[in-house]
Amino acid sequence: MVYLIDDDYDDLEIVQEALLQHSYKGPVLTIDNGKKLMDQLSDTTLSPEPRVIVLDLNMPLLDGFETLEKIRQHPMFSALPVIILTASAKKEDEIRSFELGCDYFLTKPSKISEYSTLTALVKKFMAPEANS
C-alpha cells in the first residue's frame, strides 16, 4: 500500500492520476496531514501496512519534517521507504530531508507527464522482492 500524505486535495488527485497514467495500478491511501498519518501508524490493527510513504513537506499540524522524524522514531516503520514530494526546490529542505532519513527527495513536477520518476520509485518499493 502506498500512503500519500499531502494537505492539498488537488495535489493528492494529481499524484494519483499521475501514478495511474504511468501504469501504477496498486492501492493508494491518501491522508491529508502528518498527524493523521502518525495516528494511522500508531493503530496496532493497521491493515494493510504501508510499503512506501510519499510525503509533502508543507502541511499543517505536523509538517513533513516533523512527520518524517516521527516515522524514523517509530519502531515498526523506521526503515519504511519515504519519498519527499514537495513544491520546495530549496537545497536546505532537501538536505534536511535527507538528514532526517528520507530515501528520495523530489520536487513536484508541473505536468502529470513528468511524474515518471515518482512512479518508478513507487513501483520499485511496491515490488514483492523489494520487501523480502
Which of 48, 85, 90, 44 has its CA nearest to residue 68?
A: 85
Summarize pLDDT for 13-66 with one digit per residue, the tens.
989 998 988 888 888 999 999 999 998 888 867 667 899 999 999 998 899 999
Summarize pLDDT for 89-123 with one digit per residue, the tens.
999 999 999 999 999 999 999 888 888 899 999 98
Distance between CA atoms of residues 25 and 127, nearest Å: 12
Q: Which CATH number characterizes residue 48's domain?
A: 3.40.50.2300
Look up the domain containing 127 and give its range.
Answer: 2-131
pTM exceeds 0.85, yes or no: yes
Q: How many domains does the chain have?
A: 1
Number of H helices, E strands in the chain: 5, 5
Q: HSE on the CB side for 30, CA within 13 Å?
A: 13
DSSP state of 50: P
